[in-house]
Amino acid sequence: MVSDCWVSDTARFADVLLPAAGWGEKDGTVTNSERRISRQRSFRVPPGEARPDWWMLSEVARRLGFGAAFSYASPADIFREHAALSGFENDGRRVFDIGALAAIGDAEYDALAPVQWPCLRDGEAKKRLFGDGTGFPTEDGRARFVPVSYRSPAEAPEAGMLVLNTGRVRDQWHTMTRTGRVPRLMAHRTEPLLDIHFDDAAGLGLRDGDLARVANRHAETVMRVRLSSEPRRGEAFAPMHWSDAFASSGPVDRLVGGATDPVSGQPELKATPVAVTRFATRWRGFLLRRSEMRPRGEFYWARIPLATGHAYELAGWQELPREAEAEKWVTGLLDAPGKADTIVYADEGRSALRYARLVDGRLDACLFLARDGAFLSSRGELEDMLDTAIEPYARLGLVAGVAMTVRVDSGPVICSCFAVGLRTLERAITEQRLTSVEAIGAALRAGTNCGSCRPELRAILGEMHAAAD
């Protein structure tokens, strides 16, 4: 039984799926890392049959015969019980204690101002815990340090292997069940890239943008390579966010072994030996369509959500299907519902194939394939045409990759908050002679909101000024 806001990878395995209320639809409290409890008030009504978690759990308990123990009528009821339990038989052995709030009324709860725990019944509270070296939940109130000694990773890399480090990237969170649905957040890094140092890539015969097979005794996958000076020599980095729903490479942590630290239980996510080899591609392409259905087949793909559908980066290491098999394969990729008009363009000399499918006169999907990536049009202009009405005179423009409007190439997105691309930054830095991150912010707003792009802005400035010198 799963409770979630939408169908996630986990929810697909559920026998029962309960529609949960989302963050902005919930009413209750949240606690930050300063131990400060704040009221969270909903600002919209849950859609359809979606309900808060506490209500659903209470209803399940009632149907199982435990209704008397889950007779809550509101989040305030649960908060009062939570507060009372924190102070129950708590003579200081447990640090968390908000017993002073156990008798709070509904009106007081609704108007609750941010409060820092502990909130003791006698009114005593500490803004800073353990400041005098005591107060820890131990017999004498003193802290306990756990002595540890260095232990080498369970698996050491063999000759020619790299050490894989997995982790986060700037604009994504966990397995992208939420952030992966926001086109603006996907614009900064559109696919799971394997970062390799320039020197290691040269020794492995890898170029920027190549596909590489990443393998060890646990698993193997195929990822696109990005050459970088960020990883140390002998190491590689891959993001942990992309799941089977977003890329054929799937969860990269399948490569990580089962060995864990005996004290913390942490797996060796930062020290996985892998063999990296170049994967020669026979074709490259991209797919645009309104459907979210995952492509199937022996080829690489990565999905990028758009405002009107989805874009897919494609690359294959086998020959494209021919004749009847090709028609079936292309139809499956386009995934156009019902009756559809198909426009086909083939350039045998360049081994380029282009397909566009219209449903009720609107562009529902298009597929561009080529043996040489240089013969692929930019998908940016076609993205603007997805799910729009296509006039008869404009149909040939689809397979030519030409939109009816001119789109300025802003380059890869650096500032996600204001959709500022690398080309836009470079033009502004050059033309306006910008010399600081603050100057960029004043000119383009980049870096003035969440600030997570500021290190990249600083690096771009340094590279451009170094090149100018």
pLDDT in tens, 164-185: 999 998 888 888 888 888 888 8
The tens digit of pLDDT for each residue in 113-162 reads 999 998 876 666 677 888 888 888 888 888 998 888 888 999 999 999 99
In a domain, 433, yes or no: yes
The pLDDT confidence band at residue 375, using thresholds 50, 70 and 90, is low
Both structure tokens of 62: 């009632």
Clarify whether residues 233 and 296 are in a common domain: no
In a domain, 455, yes or no: yes
In a domain, 408, yes or no: no
Of the three residues 246, 279, 312, the one that is the final residue of a domain is 279
Contact 320, 283 (CB under 8 A): yes
Average pLDDT over every residue of 227-238: 93
Clarify whether residues 303 and 355 are in a common domain: yes
Of the three residues 279, 304, 325, the one that is the final residue of a domain is 279
Write the CATH number for 459.
1.10.10.1100
Clarify whether residues 342 and 357 are in a common domain: yes
Mean confidence (pLDDT) of the chain: 88
β-strand partners of 279: 211
Instruction: Give me the number of domains the chain comprises.
Output: 4
Q: How far is the CA of 362 from the CAs of 92, 180, 308, in angstroms?
A: 67, 26, 12
Clarify whether residues 260 and 167 are in a common domain: yes
Query: What's the pLDDT at 49?
Result: 92
Q: How far is the CA of 290 from the CAs of 178, 304, 364, in angstroms?
A: 19, 12, 6
Q: Which of 446, 436, 435 is nearest to 413 (CA)?
A: 446
Q: For residue 139, what is the DSSP state? A: T
The tens digit of pLDDT for each residue in 428-447 reads 999 999 999 999 999 999 99
Query: What's the pLDDT at 374?
Result: 59
- Domain of 240 in residue numbering reads as 162-279
Clarify whether residues 37 and 110 are in a common domain: yes
**403 has pLDDT over 60:** no
Q: Could you tell me which residues come within 8 angstroms of residue 59 by beta carbon, excluding any fewer than 6 positions away?
A: none
Considering only residues 81 and 291, tell me which one the structure prediction assigns the higher pLDDT: 81
DSSP E strands: which ranges in 235-391? 235-239, 272-279, 283-289, 300-305, 310-316, 341-347, 352-359, 362-370
In a domain, 453, yes or no: yes
Of the three residues 344, 376, 400, the one that is the final residue of a domain is 400
The pLDDT confidence band at residue 64, using thresholds 50, 70 and 90, is very high
In a domain, 149, yes or no: no
The tens digit of pLDDT for each residue in 283-292 reads 999 999 988 8
Clarify whether residues 166 and 229 are in a common domain: yes
In a domain, 157, yes or no: no
Clarify whether residues 430 and 387 are in a common domain: no
- Residue 125 and residue 123: Cα distance in Å, rounded? 6
- Residue 303 and residue 186: Cα distance in Å, rounded? 10
Clarify whether residues 244 and 293 are in a common domain: no
Average pLDDT over every residue of 94-108: 91
In a domain, 344, yes or no: yes
In a domain, 437, yes or no: yes
Clarify whether residues 201 and 254 are in a common domain: yes
Average pLDDT over every residue of 68-91: 93
